């Protein structure tokens, strides 16, 4: 495993500057709300424009935070590993803070909230378990940083084997981040999943917008080594990752030249690789020099503190279980170390995405159906095991749709010509529905072997191009309302099982 270290000193001229009065850029979505609201100086949007399924619900108790008074729930019965997705417009290649908030409020009438999966685009993110927080009457939130790979980003919930009632969500936030934030991470291959973000020595309420211009949550972390609030003139607009000025007003420190030890994060974490960022700023005229160790391994040697501020970042660091941060003063020091704030993220390998052409084709096909499957949102193929109902996909790095099976799904509407853009298809099963309209031209589907369209209400003629498709070995069109003459190149074609009756009384057979 490669471990890399980066030291970033405050160099304002090298980094982007950011006005601390900048308004929040993004969308704050109040799940289940029927109208927009303003809360704590931020505009929260009703979720009706971002999702087409689920049930908006009001909690029986109204809360001061209006976003906790409503939720949207999603049916779990017969929906194992079926995604229900919010689809939010974004700027392509933009870097986004994504945060989901949960407060159960007994909405499902079970004592404990359900456990379920959370997915972003084609990547499994986390299993949501809010039980411990809910029993303490606390909200739960999950936060990550992801790059938008298209013009929209999907955030999805799905029932898993532990789910015993309907998954739900209270709020969803997507905030556009400055390009300089966390930019040692390759966001084309990885996302970041927040483990802990703390303001050390601070005992107040969560620090967030407007103190943090990106509305990141900095939770309090105080102990016996906390130092009272002070005013520091730190130019945060030039600071790496742009932490809020307020986190530099308090600190954990020791005045004597002795070690400072912190158990952080406060809970054990899984064996994995993590992104770690620690933030420091000293008083003018001070001369603190100390080394930083994580679980006894040197993280940075002889860090020379300044009043301008300094951050040290490890973009990949292995951790498991409880983590101990030790700040050890240099030999000859007259004063002990300090620390102001820290962030730690899990590094999340991205799951990829379905080929864009296939996604567009399926979206158009979805639009041509009346009442398509409710889980036809988000990425059609990914994550593995969470594909759309009736959709099968290829393995490997280039994800294609290979099979479409919507037999007996009660579909009405028509078959969009866009289905011919799914050039990886080998099998199409649309039998036993109520589909109308004509049979599209399938001649671009060079891999197609099986076509089931029987038991629908399809009209028009049978395309003669079907007889020219080399791999086709089964065409089933019986019990429709087709007209015209059966193409001669389909009748008696070697290796082809071609069926057009019973039904289709207006079809004529070519004379031999």
**How would CATH label the architecture of 356-508?**
Alpha-Beta Horseshoe (3.80)
Other Cβ atoms less than 10 A from the Cβ of 111: the count is 10
Instruction: Decide yes or no: CATH 2.40.50.100 for domain 26-177.
Output: no
Matching CATH topology for 4-15+192-349 and 26-177? Answer: yes
Of 122, 44, 23, nearest to 399 by C-alpha is 122
Annotated domain spans of the chain: 4-15+192-349, 26-177, 356-508
pLDDT at 422: 98
Q: Residue 138, CB half-sphere, CA atoms under 13 Å: how many?
A: 9
Mean pLDDT by 10 residues, the chain (512 residues): 32 36 87 93 95 94 82 95 97 97 95 97 98 94 97 97 97 96 96 98 95 97 62 63 93 92 96 96 84 96 84 93 96 92 97 96 97 96 97 94 98 98 98 98 97 98 96 97 95 94 93 70
Of 395, 411, 412, 394, nearest to 403 by C-alpha is 394
Lookup: tokens for 41: 């100086």
CA distance 384 to 46: 31
Under a CB-based contact definition with an 8 Å cutoff, are residues 218 and 208 in contact?
yes
pLDDT at 287: 80
Other Cβ atoms less than 10 A from the Cβ of 272: the count is 14
CA distance 282 to 294: 21
Residues 6+ apart with CB under 8 A from 105: 59, 60, 61, 68, 71
Report cis status (omega within 30 of 0) of the bond before 272: no
CA distance 200 to 215: 18
* Residue 241 per-residue DSSP state: T
CA distance 61 to 239: 42
Q: How far is CA 48 from CA 7, 30, 62, 368, in A?
A: 45, 10, 21, 21
CA distance 65 to 206: 14
pLDDT at 15: 32
pLDDT at 8: 35
- This prediction has a pTM of 0.91
Look at the domain 4-15+192-349 and name its fold. Answer: Jelly Rolls (2.60.120)
Of 157, 105, 153, nearest to 128 by C-alpha is 157
């Amino acid at each position: 495993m490669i471990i890399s270290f980066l030291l970033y000193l405050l160099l304002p001229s090298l980094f982007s500057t950011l006005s601390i009065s900048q308004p929040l850029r993004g969308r704050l979505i109040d799940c289940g709300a029927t109208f927009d609201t303003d809360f704590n100086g931020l505009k929260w949007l009703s979720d009706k424009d971002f999702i087409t399924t689920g049930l908006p619900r009001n909690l029986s108790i109204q809360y001061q935070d209006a976003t906790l008074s409503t939720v949207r729930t999603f049916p779990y019965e017969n929906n194992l590993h079926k995604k229900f997705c919010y689809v939010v417009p974004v700027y392509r290649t933009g870097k986004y803070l994504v945060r989901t908030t949960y407060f159960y409020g007994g909405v499902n009438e079970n004592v404990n909230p359900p456990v379920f999966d959370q997915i972003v685009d084609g990547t499994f993110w986390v299993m949501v378990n809010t039980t411990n927080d809910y029993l303490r009457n606390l909200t739960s939130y999950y936060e990550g940083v992801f790059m938008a790979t298209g013009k929209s980003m999907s955030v999805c919930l799905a029932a898993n084997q532990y789910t015993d009632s309907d998954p739900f969500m209270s709020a969803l936030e997507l905030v556009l981040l400055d390009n300089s934030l966390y930019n040692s991470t390759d966001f084309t291959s990885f996302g970041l999943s927040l483990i802990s973000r703390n303001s050390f020595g601070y005992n107040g309420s969560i620090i967030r917008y407007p103190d943090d211009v990106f509305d990141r949550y900095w939770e309090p972390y105080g102990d016996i080594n906390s130092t009272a609030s002070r005013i520091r003139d730190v130019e945060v607009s030039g600071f790496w990752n742009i932490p809020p000025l307020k986190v530099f007003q308090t600190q954990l420190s020791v005045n004597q030249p002795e070690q400072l030890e912190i158990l952080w994060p406060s809970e054990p974490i899984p064996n994995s690789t993590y992104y770690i960022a620690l933030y420091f700023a000293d008083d003018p005229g001070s001369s603190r020099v100390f080394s930083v160790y994580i679980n006894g391994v040197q993280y940075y040697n002889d860090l020379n503190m300044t009043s301008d501020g300094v951050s040290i970042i490890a973009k990949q660091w292995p951790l498991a279980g409880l983590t101990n941060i030790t700040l050890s003063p240099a030999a000859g020091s007259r004063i002990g170390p300090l620390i102001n704030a820290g962030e730690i993220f899990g590094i999340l390998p991205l799951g990829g995405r379905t080929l864009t052409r296939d996604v567009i084709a399926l979206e158009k096909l979805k639009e041509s159906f009346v009442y398509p499957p409710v889980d036809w949102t988000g990425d059609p193929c990914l994550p593995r095991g969470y594909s759309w109902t009736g959709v099968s996909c290829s393995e490997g790095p280039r994800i294609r749709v290979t099979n479409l099976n919507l037999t007996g799904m009660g579909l009405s509407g028509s078959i969009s010509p866009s289905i011919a853009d799914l050039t990886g298809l080998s099998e199409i099963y649309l039998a036993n529905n109520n589909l109308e309209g004509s049979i599209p031209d399938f001649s671009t589907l060079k891999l197609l072997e099986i076509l089931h369209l029987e038991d629908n209400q399809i009209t028009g003629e049978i395309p003669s191009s079907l007889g020219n498709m080399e791999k086709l070995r089964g065409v089933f069109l019986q019990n429709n309302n087709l007209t015209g003459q059966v193409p001669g190149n389909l009748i008696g074609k070697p290796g082809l099982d071609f069926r057009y009756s019973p039904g289709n009384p207006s079809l004529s057979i070519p004379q031999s």
